Amino acid sequence: MRIVVAGAGAVGASVAYHLALLGARDVVLCDRAEVAGGSTARAMGGVRQQFSTLAEVRLAQASIGFFEELGPPFFRRVGYLFLATTPEGSARLEERMARQRSLGVPVERARVPPGVRADDVLAAVACWRDGVADPPAVTRELVRRAAGLGVRVEEERDARELDRDVLVVCCGAWSAELAPELPIRPLCRQLLETTALELPEPLPMVVEEETGFHFRRRDDRLLVAMRDPEPRFGFATDVDESVFGDRLARLAWRCPPAAGAAVERAWAGLYDMTPDAHPVVGRVRDGVYAACGFSGHGFMQAPAVGRALAEEIVLGASSFDLAPYRLGRFEDGAAVPETLVL
């Protein structure tokens, strides 16, 4: 049985790797461009377990161990820190923390670390087991492992050109081109990288609850992101320089060591959004499976998804409960939306 995995980003690479681990012997991982060349190359690289719904928490929990096994330089466990500056935001943090702790996520009330302004903060929670990673490097490592187990890797190759018995669609925002029944819309999101700074070490991923503004350290620079005032749905990935001043002002306020920083580099990528911000994982129709629609969370959930979908394809069933991620949930109308989409 030939299995063709379309899309050589983090998710597709993980699926191919786990297929090979489970004994699949004729697996092709292909991409119309190059390995880790699409949305994976433009990702923030956060790895967190702090979500608002059971479905997302479980995927994140099942993935964190893989990142920890990789360790530096692929993954650094610096933590994810959420800050609230209003009573309403504080209440949401407390509510989510209680839910996450009940599921086994080690979330706790936290002190704001040096280098992060705290005088307007009413509540702070963190999971110090979370952290940041290098998405292209992790993806290339997955591909290296997959190739070592016999997976054939083909760049600049459209999956529709290849003979196969099974097609696995892992094409992110482009997935509906291969499986039109997938309810996926592309959403443009951009990242800013500052000029070099003198920064405290370590520095967690810092997220403002009320605004979604967040930043992380990468070497001696900061990566900065925030939701746009109006969502930019579509495949265009133009950088909107009009927001630079606002983002730098927010950064200087929340992280005083960044005062005076400039934007050295900026880029945009695409989230593959579904109506409920949960992915579609599993069988789509005879001979076609999907792992897409991650709504910005694909990289951090790739290890669990790759294993779960590979089990379903090779073994006929997954040890991980994939019910919340089935395509049919949209017809049933029973989906619970994930609200913590950064």
Mean per-residue pLDDT, 183-195: 96
CB 110 within 8 A of CB 235: no
On the CB side of 290, CA atoms within 13 Å amount to 29
pLDDT tens string 48-77: 999 988 888 999 999 999 999 999 999 999
Q: Are 66 and 141 within one domain?
A: yes
Q: At what angle do helices 298-315 and 10-21 cross, to 10 degrees?
A: 30
Whether the link from the prior residue into 183 is cis, omega within 30° of 0, is no
CB 342 within 8 A of CB 207: yes
Rounded distance, CA 267 to CA 225, Å?
Answer: 11
CB 216 within 8 A of CB 132: yes
Q: How many domains does the chain have?
A: 2
Q: Are 201 and 60 within one domain?
A: no
Rounded distance, CA 218 to CA 111, Å?
Answer: 22
Asked whether residue 342 carries a pLDDT value surpassing 90, the answer given is no
Rounded distance, CA 7 to CA 182, Å?
Answer: 15
Q: Are 262 and 281 within one domain?
A: no
Q: Are 217 and 340 within one domain?
A: no
Asked whether residue 15 carries a pLDDT value surpassing 80, the answer given is yes
CA distances from 254 to 107, 120, 193, 206 (A): 22, 10, 16, 9
CB 170 within 8 A of CB 12: yes
Mean per-residue pLDDT, 116-121: 96
Which amino acid appears at position 83 of this protein? L
Phi, psi of 282 (to 5 degrees): 130, -165
Rounded distance, CA 307 to CA 320, Å?
Answer: 9
Looking at the chain, the whole-number percentage of residues with pLDDT higher than 70 is 99
Asked whether residue 334 carries a pLDDT value surpassing 60, the answer given is no
Residues in the chain: 342
Q: Name the pTM for this structure.
A: 0.94
Q: Are 194 and 241 within one domain?
A: yes
Asked whether residue 339 carries a pLDDT value surpassing 90, the answer given is no
Q: Are 66 and 196 within one domain?
A: no
Q: Are 253 and 148 within one domain?
A: no
pLDDT tens string 279-323: 999 999 999 999 999 999 999 999 999 999 999 999 999 999 999
Q: Are 107 and 149 within one domain?
A: no
**235-239, 247-251, 304-308, 319-323, range with the lowest pLDDT:** 319-323
Asked whether residue 340 carries a pLDDT value surpassing 80, the answer given is no
| Domain around 211 | 80-128+185-273
Q: Are 117 and 196 within one domain?
A: yes
Looking at residue 335, its pLDDT comes to 62
The CATH number of residue 124's host domain is 3.30.9.10
Rounded distance, CA 257 to CA 199, Å?
Answer: 6
Domain end point (choices 242, 273, 304): 273
Looking at residue 138, its pLDDT comes to 97
Q: Are 283 and 334 within one domain?
A: yes
Looking at residue 140, its pLDDT comes to 97
Domain end point (choices 273, 289, 323): 273
> Can you spell out the DSSP letters for 157-223?
--GGGS--SEEEE--GGGGGGT-TTS--EEEEEEEEEEPP----SS--EEEETTT--EEEEETTEEE
Looking at residue 202, its pLDDT comes to 85
Tokens of 335: 């989906």
Residue 333 — pLDDT band, cuts 50, 70, 90?
low
Q: Are 324 and 220 within one domain?
A: no
Residue 261 — pLDDT band, cuts 50, 70, 90?
very high
Looking at residue 20, its pLDDT comes to 98
Give rounded-to-5 percent helix, strand, coil for the chain: 35, 25, 40
Which amino acid appears at position 308 of this protein? A
Looking at residue 52, its pLDDT comes to 86
Domain end point (choices 216, 243, 273): 273
Looking at residue 229, its pLDDT comes to 86
Looking at the chain, the whole-number percentage of residues with pLDDT higher than 90 is 89
Q: Are 137 and 265 within one domain?
A: no
Mean per-residue pLDDT, 255-280: 95
Mean per-residue pLDDT, 37-42: 92
CA distances from 46 to 68, 144, 183, 193 (A): 13, 22, 25, 15
**Mean pLDDT computed over every residue of the chain:** 94
The CATH number of residue 54's host domain is 3.50.50.60
